[in-house]
């Protein structure tokens, strides 16, 4: 097999796709370059802000919940599905955590409840999608309303102040500082590494990729499509539950509308990162940098002196250009596919 | 491990039929796709499955290979009764059944090292895939069975970049690697170039010579007529004829199949 090695060391054959490192190509390289170019721009236009540590420190606190959502969504997108109900999980799981902490005095139980509550939401989504057969983009709108409503009813529209948790072990572990870096960032990094291995190296991740490619093929190949999809949505729910817990404990406050505004940002992170809008291929590294870009744009644009009103315009442009470029670069045939999708129905 | 050892044992045991269906029915909701199928395939028999579109050929092989669950009937594999409630693709793979479809058995965007092993990955106890080993074996299959390496195709190539014939080769290579006793070929020559068709036909001959069995769905009557030991004709979910090619030449066969299409209108010969 010696010539295998010679071959992969040479220039990558055009027919080969890069895993993490093949022929010197790095997963998510284009988006990593965009990320550093963006930082370069920010440094050039707002050196007083971007040449000092505090802004990065605050990014490392504010971005992790969003990033964790993007990581979960990457797996969902890989399987050709979508989940729009995670903002509702952020409301619901956050309430469970706040309630357990405040009224039962049991924050660790609250963490479990947040994860379990999220998983429950996901399980219901998964069963409705995989067993009943409703498309995920439709049914998660419905479940989103439902769980968000349940959370509002349960908390009575009130917010919960959790300042008693300050400097308790759970606060220090999840929202403290470790090696000069906010704990949230370490958790996000850990989940990112785990998600990479699950998607690219685990049987479950491979099944998701084949399901995203084609459910018919996946079934013929012996993948239990329904079971894997239920597992996927359950996992996504639990991940959203964890993001919600993180958001609540770093603010030491739960409010009934938390999580609103994460929907588009978290999805934008995934697609800017380069995961296929058609399913079957997804990149965790891309999603990490995509979420970082989305999380930085807001503060960055304001710091450079452009009026804050422009933020969404720019985010929108970045999103559109990134998605079109990814389709064009990776596989020109996909552009054709996309064109057919939108014009064939006329 | 226990599965493997039991497999070895069953492979050495003698059996008459690799697979046998008795009164097998498949329905999708209200639609009865297969009715009362009785079919036995000998251990070294090539059975051609023919019939019009929608006759139930694909459903039949899906039922035999665990993709579709029959609604009633019995299935014997190597003369032993199978529990239909537990029968699945995974189980069929373990019993050394392999299916070669042209379009429907490969993940388009996935590299070949995934496509060779998906559904039965080489994993550790936690379910993580041994990618290095899968790549090595995939490259070996590409080189030894298929001679594909010279075309610039290796374990990292994605299926979407391969031609129809190359895809067929991949599916065949996979079936050979897993050393099947029964190969199911679903229209393996559709949309292939003549040279590629010849390769597939050689593969069917190899199945016969190496003592294996095959179910062979084919639209090209000349191909099945030449290669199959027996031709089973399906029509509207039922088996309507079981023919030995020596007893009926190609022309008679074609006439017979046409007559099936107009059974009630009086046009039939």
The whole-number mean pLDDT for each consecutive block of 10 residues of chain A, a chain of 346 residues, reads 37 43 63 89 88 90 94 96 95 94 90 96 95 93 94 88 86 88 94 96 95 90 92 97 94 86 91 88 94 88 78 85 78 68 62
Closest chain B residue to A221, measured at CA: B119
Largest Cα span, chain B: 65
Give yes or no for a contact between B113 and B138, defined as CB atoms under 8 angstroms apart: yes
Collapse the DSSP code of A217 into the 3-class scheme (helix H, G, I; strand E, B; otherwise coil) and give the result.
Answer: helix
| Cβ within 8 Å, pair A203-B128 | yes
State pTM to two decimals: 0.83
Residues of A in Cβ contact (< 8 Å) with B154:
4, 7-8, 13, 15-16
pLDDT for B163: 80
**B158 interfaces chain A, CB cutoff of 8 Å:** yes
Pairing of strands B230-235, B46-51: parallel
User: Is B128's CB within 8 Å of A202's CB?
Assistant: yes
Predicted pLDDT at A78: 95
Is B109 in the A-facing interface, judged by CB distances under 8 Å? yes
For the segment B75-124, what is each residue's pLDDT rounded down to a tens digit?
Answer: 999 888 988 888 888 888 888 888 887 567 888 889 999 998 988 888 89
Verify whether the Cβ–Cβ distance B157 to A216 is below 8 Å.
no
- Extract the residue ranges of chain B whose pLDDT is less than 50: 1-10, 266-269
Could you give the ipTM of this predicted complex? 0.79
Residue written as tokens 């097998």? B24
Ranges of H-type helices in A182-261: 183-201, 203-213, 215-220, 225-251
Both tokens assigned to B127: 């379910």
Q: Which residues of B touch A333 (CB under 8 A)?
A: 160
Q: B241 in helix, strand or coil?
A: strand
Pick B119's closest partner by Cβ from A17, A22, A222. A222
pLDDT (0 to 100) of residue A334? 63
Closest-CA residue of A relative to B61 is A220
Torsions phi, psi of A216, nearest 5?
-65, -50
Record: contact A280-B129, CB cut-off 8 A? no
DSSP-assigned beta bridge partners for residue B158: B111
- Under 8 Å CB-to-CB from A72, ≥6 apart: which residues? A83, A86, A195, A235, A236, A239, A240, A243
Please indicate if any CB of chain A lies within 8 Å of the CB of B114.
yes
Q: Which of B149, B131, B129 is nearest to B139 (CA)?
A: B149
Cβ–Cβ gap A217/B105 under 8 Å: yes
Q: Where are the domains of chain A?
A: 27-343
Instruction: Say whether residue B214 is in contact with chain A using an 8 A CB cutoff.
Output: no
3-state secondary structure of B253: helix
- Closest by CA to A174, choosing from A292, A64, A284, is A64
Nearest alpha-carbon partner for B216 in B101, B94, B114: B101
Q: How far, in Å, CA of A244 to CA of A240, rounded?
A: 6
Contact A15 B158 (CB under 8 A): yes
Shortest alpha-carbon distance between residue B129 and chain A (Å): 5
pLDDT given at position A72: 96
From chain A, the residues in CB contact with B161 under 8 A are 14-15
**Distances in Å between the alpha carbon of A266 and those of A165, A259, A269, A319, B205?**
28, 11, 5, 12, 55
User: Using the beta-carbon criterion (under 8 Å), do A223 and B119 form an inter-chain contact?
Assistant: yes
Which of A19, A220, A280 is nearest residue B108 as measured by Cβ atoms? A280
Residue A16 pLDDT: 45
Interface touch B67/A217, C-beta < 8 Å = no
Beta strands in chain A (DSSP E): 21-22, 25-26, 160-161, 177-178, 181-182, 253-254
Cα-Cα-Cα-Cα dihedral of B164, B167, B172, B174, to 10°?
A: -170
Q: Which domains does chain B show, CATH number per domain?
A: 1-96+180-269 (3.40.50.300), 104-179 (no CATH)
Tokens of B258: 């046409």
Contact A201 B111 (CB under 8 A): no
Among B90, B99, B107, beta carbon nearest to A210: B107
- What CATH number was assigned to the domain covering residues A27-343? 1.10.3470
Backbone angles phi, psi at A32, to 5 degrees: -65, -40
Q: Compute the distance between CA of residue B32 and CA of residue B70 in angstroms, rounded to an integer.
A: 11
Residue A200 neighbours by CB distance under 10 Å: 21
Among A10, A11, A18, A222, the strongest candidate for a mutation testing the B interface, having the largest count of B CBs within 10 A, is: A222
Kindly state whether B111 is in contact with chain A, defined as any CB-CB distance less than 8 angstroms: yes
Chain B CB contacts of A214 below 8 Å: 104, 107-108
Cα–Cα dist A27/A35, whole Å: 14
Query: Whole-angstrom Cα distance, residue A241 to residue A236?
Result: 8
Separation CA B142–CA B139 (nearest Å): 5
The residues with which B235 forms a beta bridge, in sequence order, are: B238
Quickly tell me which residue has 């046409």 as its tokens. B258
């Amino acid at each position: 097999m010696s010539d295998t090695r010679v071959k992969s060391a040479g220039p990558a054959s055009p027919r080969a796709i890069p895993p993490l490192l093949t022929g010197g190509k790095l997963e998510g390289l284009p988006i990593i370059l965009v990320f550093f170019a963006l930082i370069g721009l920010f440094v050039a236009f707002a050196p007083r802000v971007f040449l000092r540590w505090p802004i990065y420190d605050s990014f490392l606190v504010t971005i992790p919940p969003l990033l964790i959502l993007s990581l979960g969504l990457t797996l969902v997108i890989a399987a050709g599905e979508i989940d729009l109900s995670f903002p509702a999980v952020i409301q619901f799981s956050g309430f469970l955590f706040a309630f357990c902490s405040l009224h039962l005095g049991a924050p660790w139980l609250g963490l479990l409840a947040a994860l379990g509550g999220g998983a429950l939401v996901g399980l219901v989504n998964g069963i409705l999608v995989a067993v009943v057969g409703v498309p995920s983009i439709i049914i998660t709108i419905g479940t989103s309303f439902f769980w968000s409503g349940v959370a509002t009813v349960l908390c009575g529209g009130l917010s919960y102040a959790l300042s008693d948790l300050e400097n308790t072990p759970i606060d220090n572990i999840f929202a403290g500082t470790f090696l000069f870096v906010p704990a949230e960032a370490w958790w996000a990094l850990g989940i990112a590494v785990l998600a990479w291995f699950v998607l690219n190296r685990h049987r479950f991740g491979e099944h998701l990729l084949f399901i995203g490619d084609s459910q018919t093929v996946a079934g013929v190949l012996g993948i239990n499509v329904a079971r894997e999809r239920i597992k996927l949505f359950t996992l996504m729910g639990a991940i959203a539950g964890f993001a919600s817990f993180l958001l609540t404990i770093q603010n030491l406050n739960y409010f009934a509308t938390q999580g609103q505004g994460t929907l588009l940002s978290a999805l934008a992170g995934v697609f800017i990162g380069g995961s296929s809008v058609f399913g079957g291929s997804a990149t965790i590294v891309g999603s990490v940098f995509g979420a970082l870009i989305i999380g930085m744009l807001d503060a960055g644009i304001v710091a450079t002196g452009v009026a804050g009103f422009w933020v969404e315009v720019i985010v929108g442009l970045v999103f559109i250009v990134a998605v079109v470029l990814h389709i064009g670069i990776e596989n020109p045939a996909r552009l054709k596919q996309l064109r057919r999708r939108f014009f064939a129905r006329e | 491990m226990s599965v493997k050892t039991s497999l070895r044992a069953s492979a050495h045991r003698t059996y008459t039929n690799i697979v046998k269906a008795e009164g097998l029915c498949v329905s999708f909701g209200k639609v009865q796709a297969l009715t009362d199928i009785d079919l036995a395939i000998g251990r070294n028999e090539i059975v051609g499955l023919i019939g019009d579109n929608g006759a139930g050929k694909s459903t039949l092989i899906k039922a035999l290979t665990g993709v579709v669950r029959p609604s009633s009937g019995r299935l014997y594999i190597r003369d032993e009764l199978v529990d239909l409630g537990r029968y699945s693709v995974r189980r069929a793979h373990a019993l050394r059944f392999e299916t070669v479809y042209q379009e429907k058995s490969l993940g388009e965007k996935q590299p070949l090292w995934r496509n060779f092993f998906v559904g039965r990955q080489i994993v550790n106890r936690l379910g993580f895939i041994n990618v290095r080993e899968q790549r090595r074996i995939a490259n070996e299959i590409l080189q030894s069975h298929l001679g594909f390496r010279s075309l610039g195709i290796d374990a990292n190539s994605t299926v979407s970049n391969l031609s129809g014939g190359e895809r067929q080769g991949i599916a065949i290579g996979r079936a050979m690697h897993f050393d099947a006793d029964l190969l199911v070929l679903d229209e393996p020559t559709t949309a292939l170039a003549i040279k590629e068709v010849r390769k597939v036909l050689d593969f069917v001959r190899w199945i016969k010579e190496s003592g294996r069995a095959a179910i062979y769905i084919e639209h090209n009557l000349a191909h099945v007529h030449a290669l199959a030991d027996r031709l089973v004709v399906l029509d509207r979910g039922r088996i309507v004829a079981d023919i030995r090619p020596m007893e009926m030449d190609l022309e008679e066969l074609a006439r017979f199949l046409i007559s099936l299409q107009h059974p009630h209108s009086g046009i039939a010969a």
